[in-house]
């Protein structure tokens, strides 16, 4: 029986990789993944077999990993962040029925929401939502409905994929939706770019100014709840303890 680890290696240049993730990579015969993610760990395993695919070839990548494992090999399918948060764990498990001989283990990692929150302070200290602003796989009307629901519930928000060359205005549109749904323009917000990598940047600012920010696919955005505040340069969403 073959073994397939679906491994989240954390964001950035291995700064957030867990011991469990490293052990899975060590055990693998083959490292499989998106070119960029494999590039972050390739130097650790110069002798291992590598299988990569470009962006938008996710299904092919998952099938290839399952087929190699079905042939009796130990494979690590590498994901950035956490394998179960916008990663490859879901599509692998969707396809798994056709590969009953493969033992699949999902290895958790540190997602950008957690690493980025730590860089800013504690913006996710209470209930929060993670929403991707990419409409490649999710229609924009669904994204808008989720943003409005999160605003109505007064959740803190973590926004993935806030902009790209194809959709440079998605963060502005999201901010306008949140403002229209009742969030104050003074809501404490922040963003982190290149989390865990050389040149990491961060900024804290109000929601009204966030809509004007130039962000990219390497940026993770945080929008506070009505309780979120800034103290000593850190973004804090209080849990509610009597302190």
> First and final CA of the chain: distance in angstroms?
54
> Can you give the pLDDT at residue 197?
87
Task: Tell which residue, 128, 135, 133, has the closest CA to residue 113.
Answer: 128
> Can you give the pLDDT at residue 15?
77
In whole angstroms, give the CA distance from residue 219 to residue 200.
Answer: 10
> DSSP secondary-structure letter at 10?
B
Using DSSP bridges, classify how beta strands 188-193 and 201-206 pair: parallel, antiparallel or unpaired.
Answer: antiparallel
> Can you give the pLDDT at residue 13?
78
Per-residue pLDDT band for 242 (boundaries 50, 70, 90) equals confident
Angle at 85 between CA 80 and CA 88, to 5 degrees: 65
> DSSP secondary-structure letter at 197?
S
> Can you give the pLDDT at residue 198?
86
Q: Is this model's pTM higher than 0.85 or not?
A: yes
In whole angstroms, give the CA distance from residue 111 to residue 133.
Answer: 16
> Can you give the pLDDT at residue 243?
82
Domains of the chain in start order, with CATH, are 3-110 (3.40.1010.10), 113-236 (3.30.950.10)
Task: Tell which residue, 202, 212, 205, has the closest CA to residue 173.
Answer: 212
Question: Residue 55 pLDDT more than 80?
Answer: no
> Can you give the pLDDT at residue 75?
98
Q: What is the mean pLDDT of residues 68-95?
A: 96
> Can you give the pLDDT at residue 82?
96
| Residue 118 backbone phi and psi in degrees, to 5 | -65, -35
């Amino acid at each position: 029986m073959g073994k397939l680890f679906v491994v989240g290696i954390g964001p950035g240049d291995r700064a957030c990789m867990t011991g469990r993730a490293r052990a899975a990579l060590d055990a693998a015969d083959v490292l499989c993944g998106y070119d960029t993610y494999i590039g972050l760990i390739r130097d650790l395993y110069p002798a291992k077999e590598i299988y990569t695919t470009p962006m938008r070839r996710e299904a092919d990548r998952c099938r290839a990993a399952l087929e190699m494992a079905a042939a009796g090999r130990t494979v690590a399918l590498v994901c950035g962040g956490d394998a179960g948060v916008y990663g490859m764990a879901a599509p692998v498990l969707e396809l798994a029925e056709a590969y009953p001989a493969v033992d699949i283990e999902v290895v958790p990692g540190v997602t950008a929401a957690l690493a980025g929150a730590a860089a800013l302070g504690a913006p996710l200290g209470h209930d929060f939502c993670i929403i991707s602003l990419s409409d490649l796989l999710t229609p924009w009307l669904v994204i808008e409905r989720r943003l409005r629901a999160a605003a109505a519930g007064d959740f803190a928000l973590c926004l993935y994929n806030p902009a790209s060359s194809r959709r440079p205005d998605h963060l502005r549109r999201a901010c306008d939706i949140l403002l229209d749904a009742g969030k104050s323009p003074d809501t404490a917000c922040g963003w982190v770019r290149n989390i865990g990598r050389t040149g990491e940047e961060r900024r804290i600012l109000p929601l009204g100014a966030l809509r004007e920010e130039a962000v990219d696919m390497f940026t993770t955005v945080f929008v506070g709840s009505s309780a979120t505040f800034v103290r000593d340069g850190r973004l804090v969403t209080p849990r509610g303890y009597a302190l």
